[in-house]
């Protein structure tokens, strides 16, 4: 939450009360919760400013009554003291040499703090890249979405991560990871997936989607643009958010915070989540494209198999036609005394179709016929359809009946003399 930076006045006489800029909100040297070396640096700055409290009560009031960005506080303190150093006031009781040493100490603290901030930024960037590399090895988009909120916490240093999606104009929670609080995360996702708030201009997420930019919320309860049911359910105090934009189209959001430790989010948290979100958009798009390629490959393989089956049937049909010509010549050389349409119809069948029909007559199913003839079951179905059509039969039973009658006629005809 940005604040107005008040002007820095000259130091007041000792008898006068502290000036109004001392009590301006959110500008004091109150150290944020920071681990390790950064907390020590901030402590040094606090001690340095406290050392001037006896001579300058305004700094003591500044230190005690308001809080804010430590870097801004240090810069303001340095600028103020430089002004007093260039235009000393004998009445303030501070020797110029003491003031110069104090300014030098503040500058050292400020530079060390800047170095620590830069180091933290580099480390956060490296952790985010490592998290993206782990996600990049996941090929399934659904699995990727299940893992991403955990990586927001593990890789980017947050304690809670939330994934939401946009369907039409509805904002729907899709996943969450709360460190050591899985039940709470599941409850929050169930609540958010059923609530489905509409993305109106009054919501911060709508503004993020329109601006295609991340957001930093320092007071979620009092911010007029936050969705209060979500804030209450998740007990959100402050958070950062970023839109997910594969190919420039916003499809959802990431939100994250440091709820359990109570550490407020800052600009670095916002930038870290934004960098992670930008990289995740490419990782997710890659996974979706790979899944589509796999689906295309499967369809092409099925088409190739079907084509091979059709070509095989055509080849068998050509062979059958040649054999059929020979068989017909042989039959015409025999007797014309044979009667009955069934045998004529069976003569129209190819050798492979006769094999299929004979197995059908034996009671074999399509699967059994496929195993016996070493062909695909789909090929068997094609043969059966052609057999029914050629025999003018309405079902398998009728085709088998005509086949058996033709076999009886053939046995009877084999006893007749050959035609001259």
Question: What are the tens digits of pLDDT across the range 175-210?
Answer: 999 998 999 999 999 999 898 999 999 999 999 999
The answer, yes or no, to whether residue 45 has pLDDT greater than 50, is yes
- What is the torsional sign of CA 105, 110, 115, 119? positive
pLDDT-above-90 percentage for the chain = 28
The answer, yes or no, to whether residue 70 has pLDDT greater than 80, is no
CB atoms closer than 10 angstroms to residue 271: 18
Whole-angstrom distance between the N-terminal and C-terminal Cα of the chain? Answer: 111
Quote the pLDDT of residue 271.
92
Contact 175, 151 (CB under 8 A): no
The answer, yes or no, to whether residue 60 has pLDDT greater than 50, is no
The answer, yes or no, to whether residue 354 has pLDDT greater than 70, is yes
The answer, yes or no, to whether residue 245 has pLDDT greater than 50, is yes
The answer, yes or no, to whether residue 330 has pLDDT greater than 70, is no
The answer, yes or no, to whether residue 135 has pLDDT greater than 80, is yes
Quote the pLDDT of residue 76.
78
Quote the pLDDT of residue 81.
79
C-alpha radius of gyration, the chain, whole number: 42
CA distances (Å), origin 143, targets 131, 138, 150, 175, 190:
15, 7, 12, 12, 19
Tell me the pLDDT band of 316, cut-offs 50, 70 and 90.
low
- What is the torsional sign of CA 66, 68, 72, 73? positive
Q: What's the pTM? A: 0.55
Mean pLDDT lowest for which of 40-44, 228-232, 336-340? 336-340
Mean pLDDT lowest for which of 4-18, 108-122, 221-235? 4-18
The answer, yes or no, to whether residue 328 has pLDDT greater than 80, is no
Q: Nearest Cα to 263, choosing from 33, 15, 16?
A: 33
E strands present in 160-284: 160-167, 170-178, 215-217, 239-244, 252-257
Tell me the pLDDT band of 255, cut-offs 50, 70 and 90.
very high
Token code pair at residue 320: 């059958």
**Cα angle, residue 259 at apex, residues 257 and 265 outer, rounded to 5°:** 40
Q: CA 362 to CA 351: how far, in whole Å?
A: 17
Give CA 127 to chain center in angstroms: 18
């Amino acid at each position: 939450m940005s604040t107005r930076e008040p002007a820095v006045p000259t130091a007041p006489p000792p008898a006068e009360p502290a000036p109004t800029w001392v009590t301006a909100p959110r500008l004091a040297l109150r150290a944020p919760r920071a681990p390790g070396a950064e907390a020590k640096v901030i402590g040094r700055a606090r001690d340095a400013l406290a050392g001037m409290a006896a001579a300058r009560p305004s700094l003591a009031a500044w230190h005690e009554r308001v809080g804010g960005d430590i870097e801004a506080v240090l810069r303001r303190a340095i600028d103020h003291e430089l002004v007093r150093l260039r235009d000393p006031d004998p009445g303030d009781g501070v020797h110029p040499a003491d003031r110069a040493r104090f300014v030098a100490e503040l500058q050292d603290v400020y530079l060390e703090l800047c170095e620590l901030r830069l180091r933290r930024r580099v480390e956060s960037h490296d952790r985010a890249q490592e998290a993206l590399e782990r996600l990049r090895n996941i090929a399934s988009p659904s699995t990727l979405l299940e893992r991403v909120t955990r990586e927001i916490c593990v890789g980017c240093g947050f304690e809670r991560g939330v994934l939401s999606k946009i369907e039409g104009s509805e904002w729907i929670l899709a996943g969450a990871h709360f460190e050591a609080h899985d039940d709470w995360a599941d409850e929050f996702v169930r609540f958010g997936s059923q609530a489905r708030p509409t993305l109106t201009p009054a919501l911060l997420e709508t503004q993020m989607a329109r601006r295609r930019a991340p957001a930093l919320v320092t007071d979620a309860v009092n911010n007029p643009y936050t969705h209060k049911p979500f804030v209450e359910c998740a007990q959100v105090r402050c958070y950062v958010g970023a839109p997910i934009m594969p190919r420039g189209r916003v499809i959802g959001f990431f939100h994250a915070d440091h709820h359990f430790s109570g550490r407020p989010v800052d600009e670095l948290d916002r930038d870290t989540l934004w960098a992670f979100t930008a990289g995740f958009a490419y990782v997710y798009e890659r996974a979706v494209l790979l899944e589509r390629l796999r689906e295309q490959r499967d369809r092409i393989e099925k088409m190739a198999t079907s084509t091979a089956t059709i070509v095989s049937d055509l080849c068998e049909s050509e062979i059958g036609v040649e054999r059929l010509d020979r068989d017909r010549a042989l039959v015409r050389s025999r007797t014309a005394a044979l009667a009955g349409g069934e045998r004529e119809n069976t003569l129209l069948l190819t050798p492979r179709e006769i094999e299929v029909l004979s197995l059908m007559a034996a009671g074999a199913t399509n699967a059994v016929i496929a195993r016996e003839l070493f062909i695909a079951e789909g090929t068997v179905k094609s043969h059966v359809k052609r057999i029914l059509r050629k025999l003018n039969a309405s079902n398998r039973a009728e085709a088998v009946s005509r086949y058996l009658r033709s076999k009886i006629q053939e046995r009877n005809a084999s006893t007749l003399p050959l035609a001259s």
